[in-house]
Structure 1
Amino acid sequence: MQNTRLGTSGLKISRITLGCMGFGDPSKGFQRWALTEDEAQPIFRQALDLGINFWDTANYYDRGISEEIVGRAMRRLSRREDIVLATKVGLPMHGGPGGQGLSRRAIFEQVDESLRRLGTEYIDLYQVHRFDSNTPIEETMEALHDIIRSGRVRYIGASSMFAWQFSEMQHVAERHGWTRFISMQNQYSLVMREEERET
């Protein structure tokens, strides 16, 4: 497996990522198509055998069950220092004030919940799942900067937003001296070609 650096950072990752959205508990009814923990184990093993050390999940995937499965697989099959762990924040987890979005309250609550489910003391890459038009960008970027300063997160990234939204968030962080995103996880495939609208 070839390795590369994530964005302009010094973080080395495998060029191929193990996406973990498909792991969960179909009996709970949220993702009836998800693979169970037992069904997912051979996939984790093969990823490790192939040198895929970059594992990507989200708090939203099967309402946290994917994170639990990923955390247990990491502890069972590897060492924390050998895995680059990515997860996300922003989509609805519950109806309370910290249950969704990118407010300071939500980011602080959800990063702690993700750490608990993953069974780790830090997240390598913490990504905003979608742009939150209901929260000031300054509030979001300062909160993300603060969870990095606290040691709970090493790097931040973004996922599935317009280029102007990403650029504006980067600009706010730079203007205030806060941590900037090092990556963008585009939703781009043969079926979803939205990024081409902005080229």
Structure 2
Amino acid sequence: MNDPDDGMEYTTLGSTGMEVSKLCLGCMNFGSDQPWMIDDEERSREVIDRALDLGINFLDTANVYSRGESEEIVGSAIEGRDRSELVIATKVYGEMGEGPNQGGLSRKHIIDQCEASLERLNTDYIDLYQIHRWDDSTPIEETLSALSYLVEEGLVRYIGASTMMGWQFTKALYESDLGGHERFVSMQPEYSLVDRHEEENLLPVCRDQGVGVIPWSPLGGGFLTGKYDRDAEPAEGRAATDDHTRERFTEENWAVLDVLREIAERKDASPAQVSLAWLLEKEVVDAPIIGPRSLDHLEENAAAVSVSLTDEEIERLEAPKTPVWSRATGDL
């Protein structure tokens, strides 16, 4: 098994000069909103502390993750650390209350929520502030103007985006250039060996525009860890309660997993490590977002940076699937 203490590797995010670890710690599990979350602040802190000690300097959360609970845990964990070395990312868009102006990408909501996130994260600035989804009800010019204001005020260093259609992201980049607004430097798409639809949607835009790619769900909601089997009903893990994870139980994806298990065994690695290594081989990818729920999972994931794949192995892993984009596939 690969050793996580071999050392973390770093890259720059997109076309920026900001250095980030080649794995990003996803912080959605640090909360209590869903049954598969950790729901224990002490255990969450242990995972964050160990990730930082392993050299992971890139942490990604969102205001909607357990309605701010995740941000509060992250804020507590980074207290006393050298803030200049850390890259803290969070997101805005989702509903944060029951009344008006509690969601979306209006100027009011963005600025209000940035201030709230800063307080929960216990920091003076956010390194990467991301729009969580596209907002059909707000002109993109208004959203970009608000984000640019936050950068000008020193509250945000860079802006990013997540999960939308390619034409929407292209429009946003065009409007940034046209209006002299801050430009999105990163994109968070769903991307894994069993979720390759973005190869026909967002990834070509990111490659062409020099936008950094930070894939979410790089292990297919746990499917690519190899813990599920064709003929067994899942009794635990996300698949036991999450429909999107269960949707991956197709014959095509089982064929991917068969190849993945074989290559992993030959390399004395785990299926999860080989899955992450496949993403790290992609030139367009900067840092997959891992979401470990335990120290063991974290150690396993971190060791993926030392796994390398041959062109033949990559071809075999990709052979069972043909990437296809549709609005439904993109989980919009």
Both structures adopt the same fold (TM-score exceeding 0.5): yes
Name the Cα RMSD after superposition. Answer: 1.3
Residues 178-193 of structure 1: matches in 2 within 5 Å? Answer: 178-193=181-196
Residues 9-24 of structure 1: matches in 2 within 5 Å? Answer: 9-24=16-31
Residues 120-199 of structure 1: matches in 2 within 5 Å? Answer: 120-198=123-201
Structure richer in strand, relative to its length? 1
| Matching residue's letter, 1:153 | V
Distance 2:197 2:134 in 1: 15
Deviations 1:96-142 (A, max 9, x none): 33311000011011101100100111000000000001101111111
- The answer as to 2:58 corresponding to 1:54 is yes
Q: 1:69 aligns with which of 64, 67, 73?
A: 73
Equivalenced residue count is 194
TM-score, normalised to structure 2's length? 0.56
**Structure 1: gaps (5+ residues):** none
Equivalent residues of 1:89, 1:128 under 8 A apart: yes
- SS of structure 2 residue aligned to 1:120: coil
Higher RCO (Cα < 8 Å, 6 or more apart): 2
Distance 1:190 1:3 in 2: 23
* Deviates most, 49-58 or 37-46: 37-46
Q: 1:101 aligns with which of 89, 93, 104?
A: 104
| Matching residue's letter, 1:18 | L
TM-score, normalised to structure 1's length? 0.93
| Matching residue's letter, 2:57 | N
Distance 1:59 1:197 in 2: 29
Deviations 1:47-76 (A, max 9, x none): 112100000000011110000000000005
Change over 3 Å in CA distance of 1:93–1:191 after alignment to 2? farther
Q: Which residue pairs with 1:33 in the alignment?
A: 36
Distance 2:118 2:49 in 1: 22
- SS of structure 2 residue aligned to 1:183: strand
**Structure 2: gaps (5+ residues):** 1-7, 205-332
Equivalent residues of 1:97, 1:106 under 8 A apart: no
Distance 2:121 2:35 in 1: 22
Equivalent residues of 2:158, 2:184 under 8 A apart: yes
Distance 2:76 2:15 in 1: 30
How far the C-alpha of 1:197 sits from its partner, in A, is 4.0
Distance 1:95 1:141 in 2: 25
Q: Which residue pairs with 1:81 in the alignment?
A: 84
Distance 1:92 1:190 in 2: 31
How far the C-alpha of 1:40 sits from its partner, in A, is 1.1
| Stretches (4+) displaced over 4 A | none
How far the C-alpha of 1:191 sits from its partner, in A, is 4.3
Q: Which residue pairs with 2:232 in the alignment?
A: none
- The answer as to 2:46 corresponding to 1:42 is yes
Q: Which residue pairs with 1:5 in the alignment?
A: 12
